[in-house]
Structure formats: C-alpha cells, structure tokens
Chain A
Amino acid sequence: MSNEERKIVLPSQVLGDTKSNRAGRGTFIEDGRIISGKLGILNANSNYINVIPLKGRYEPTVDDFVIGVVEEALSAGWLVDINAPSPAFLHVNEVPWDIEFGDTEKYLNRGDSIMAKVTQIDELKKFQITLKDRNLYKIKGGHIIEVEPSRVPRIIGKKGSMIALIKKYIRCRIFVGQNGKIWVDGDTESIERVLQTIYKIESEAITFGLTNRIEELLKKDAKDVR
C-alpha cells in the first residue's frame, strides 16, 4: 500500500471518466463515467481506478488458498462453505484418497474443516476447490477464527511479513485463508496471544506504520524469540 492519503468512497461516488482512466475492481461504468459500486478505499493503479472494499463477502479467485467447513456430503463430492456467496464444490477426484462411489461420508463429513485451493470459477459463479496440492489437508485440532476478508492482505503483510512477525515472537502454527478464516494451533496461551494480535491488526488495518507497532507490542511480552 502506498503512503498517500487513503480516501473512503461510497457507492454512487463518481471517480473519473473512461477517457483517461479504466474501471477496475469495485467500480462500474455509466455514461462514460467511472462510479464506485462499493463502500471502500480508493486505489488508483496505473490508470486503473479500483475500490478496495472495507467490508463484504469473500469473492473467490482462482488459486486462492482458503479454509472451508464441509456443509454436506453428496455421493460424488462435498459442498464446502468458504464464506463465498454460495458453497464451493469439492469433487471426489479432487481429494488425495481413493473413494468408492457413495462412501464420501467416511472421509469428510458435515462440520469437518479443510485447507483447500480454488481451482475453477465458471460464469455462473460456481466454485470448485481441490485438496490435491502441497499443504492442503483436512484440519485436525487447532482453532479457527474469522476476520473480515478484506483485511486478509494486511494480516499476511508484505510477502508474509506480518505472519512471520507473529511466528517469530509466539510459538504457534498459523494458516491464513484468503476467505478470512484463520487457523491457529499451539498451546492455549499462545493461541490467546495470537488472537489478540490478529484482532488488533484487523481493527487498525488501514492505519500507517502498523507492522512496527505490532512488532513493539509483541516484543513487550515475548518470552522466547526465535
């Protein structure tokens, strides 16, 4: 994120015209003018005008890592809630196990959590996910919390700097899904501290110098620094 002033825009606000700019995410065009379609922060990037939403549902893009909760086991796969407008489909061919037809319930059932990757989105916004990749598996143990999906980039930080920071000062395992679900594992005290840190990042997501402030906070009550 750049250091220029962050301007909050409302739906219906006119942001520019199509002659000198192009309409990016979160905007639409009407009568040659680019208009904001969302409540968000204005972001101009190489003549694209974008609106980065402050709130709202997760909008999947291909290759996103997400954390999902199984909603229903069908005979040919599972329906998984990934915080999107509709559930994603996980086909039996997309899991690392060899499953007989109709035996899906033995492997994943309602309420189970998985780390998955978005593989396909069709024009009807039907989402397909997979478990066949590195670091994708069924989650056992740990703790899942939910944050606003628009805050995920801030929690991860530039090239994972924020997550690296948390891992440096607190002994824990963290996995951040692009859909705003975060899995944390460790002892009770560590989890508690991670949650506090993440909620602080979430509430102060668009302020400046956040990484430094979080580092100071973590340093203050750090026990074993690695």
Chain B
Amino acid sequence: MKVDIKLIDDNGKRLDGRSTEELRKIKIEAGVLHRADGSCYLEWGGNKVLVAVYGPREAIPRHTQNPLRAIVNARYNMAAFSVEDRKRPGPDRRSREISKVISEALEKIVLTEQFPRSAIDVNIEVLDAEAGTRCAGLTAAGVALADAGIPMKDIPVACAAGKIAGQVVMDLGKEEDNFGDADLPIAISPRTNEILLLQMDGHLTLEEFNRALDLAIKGCHTVSEIQKKTILDKYQSVEGVE
C-alpha cells in the first residue's frame, strides 16, 4: 500500500509536533480503585489504561499452582470502545499474546518464591488506544504492583522505539505505528537494565536496532522517574509524613 503521508516534516518535527527523541505526555495516578489491593490509572498520549492488582491469593484452579513460587496472571483486555471501529469484546489472538508476554515480564521481577502456591492477578484494561498500549499497560502494572505492596526486585517499566520515514524515533504515535517501518517495544528493570520484554514489528538493520534499543532504554528511564514520583507523592500526601 502506497501512502503519501509525511511522518517527519522538513524541520525534523513529527506529526504531533514532537522531536525524534521526545516521549508523548504521560500522566500516572496510583491507588485509584479501593476494592483492588493495588491499582493505577495511566494516560500515555492518547492511551488510557486502568490496572487492578489482586493478591497474592490462592491460585485457582489448583492444578495451576506452583509448589515453589507464585504465578503471575496478567490479563490484557481492550474495551470495545477503545478503538475507532468497535472492537469485538473478549480475548483474541493479539490480547492473549500480550497477556502472556506481560505475565512473563512481571514474573521475572516479582519475588514469587515468597508466596508458594499463590497467584497474583493483574488486570489491564485499555480504555482508549493510540499505539503502544502494551507499554502503557506494563508501565501501569508496575505502579499497581508497588501500590499493592507486592514484594519485587524493581518497578518494571516499558517504552517503545521505532523507525519512521527512514529515521529511528522514540515512542511511536498512531499514524507512525500504522505507516512507519518498524516498532520495537521493550520493558526493562530500570535498576539493572535487564530486559523483561522485547518484541519487534517490521524491519531494522543491526545498527538501527541498536540505536532503537538504546533510545527505548533511555525512554524507559524517563518513564521510570515519573512512576517513582507518582508513588512517592501519593503516599507522602496520604500518610501525611510530617
């Protein structure tokens, strides 16, 4: 399909006016649901994501229990109204894949061996989608897990980089994702820079890949600071530390 859309203008600005190394606007709020053990609401550009964390609690059905450690069940779900055409509700191929990769990423950082035979449920609801929902979901899940008081090695964070109009750029927007050349979402543990999730859509040369990875890691660290500030602000105000 030939598309005549100019993703980067002559001044080096992108469609939404960002430079090539700029993130979209991020807003995070922790502890928004009082019935869940931990929760988080996150806006990342046009994405709106709500995450609720339950547990650790007994894993049901019993055959899923691991006698040595807890299992992490992430459930990624897109609301029917989250995309332009109505999305058919319920799990599909794409959301099951994302649920699986997010579960595995979170299992790596939660101290699961402290809760044998238990399950930690992470419900990720995408209310509004605009490219990069898995990164938004995983970032929000990190905040919600910390808010739930679940022991973990680090607060996971995700960010994407990609290639549009022949250039490697940070954090693709909707048109850039649809008409760009490649998308590389990653999740890391910001303290150690360990990679928890890495997927790629499209084609990159080795140099472009390395450049995109560095850029995405840089983005992760920026987002991580916002995450930490959100949690600290919330608890310092609620607890009224004098």
Contact = CB atoms under 8 A, between A and B. Distances in A.
Given A57-B55, A204-B240, A206-B241, A26 B151 contact: yes
Contacts of A150: 149
B197 interface: no
B147 A39 contact: yes
Contacts, number: 96
B57 interface: yes
B158 to A, nearest CB: 15
Given A85-B57, A205-B239, 15 more contacts: A11-B146, A11-B151, A11-B155, A37-B151, A39-B146, A53-B149, A54-B235, A54-B239, A55-B147, A124-B67, A125-B117, A203-B238, A206-B239, A207-B239, A208-B242
B162 interface: no
A85 B153 contact: no
Contact of A55 (B115, B149, B241, B242): B149
B148 interface: yes
B37 interface: yes
A8 interface: yes
A117 interface: no
A37 B153 contact: yes
Interface of A: 5-6, 8, 10-12, 26, 28, 30, 35, 37-40, 53-57, 85-87, 124-125, 150, 203-208
Contacts of B190: 12
A87 B59 CA distance: 11
B235 A12 contact: no
A53 B154 CA distance: 15
A58 B242 CA distance: 27
Greatest chain A CB density within 10 A among B153, B228, B236, B238 is at B153
Contacts of B58: 85-87
Interface in B58-84: 58, 67, 70
B151 A8 contact: no
A85 B58 CA distance: 6
B116 interface: yes
Interface residues of B, number: 36
A56 B111 CA distance: 13
Nearest to B117: A86
A22 B181 CA distance: 51
A8 B236 contact: yes
A37 B228 contact: no
A3 to B, nearest CB: 10
Interface in B139-159: 146-155
Interface of B: 37-38, 55-58, 67, 70, 111, 115-118, 146-155, 189-191, 228, 231-232, 235-236, 238-242
B142 to A, nearest CB: 9
Given A37-B151, A39-B231, A87-B58, A124 B116 contact: yes
A207 B151 contact: no
A12 B239 contact: no
A56 B115 contact: no
A38 B148 CA distance: 9
**Residue of A10, A55, A85, A125 contacting most chain B CB atoms (<10 Å):** A85
A8 B56 CA distance: 22
A178 B42 CA distance: 34
12 contacts: A8-B239, A39-B231, A54-B149, A54-B239, A56-B149, A57-B149, A85-B58, A124-B116, A124-B117, A203-B238, A206-B240, A207-B239
B56 A57 contact: yes
A57 B37 CA distance: 9
Contacts of B151: 11, 26, 37-38, 56
A37 B190 CA distance: 14
B239 A38 contact: no
A30 B191 CA distance: 11
A28 B153 contact: yes
Contacts of B116: 124-125
Contacts of A40: 149
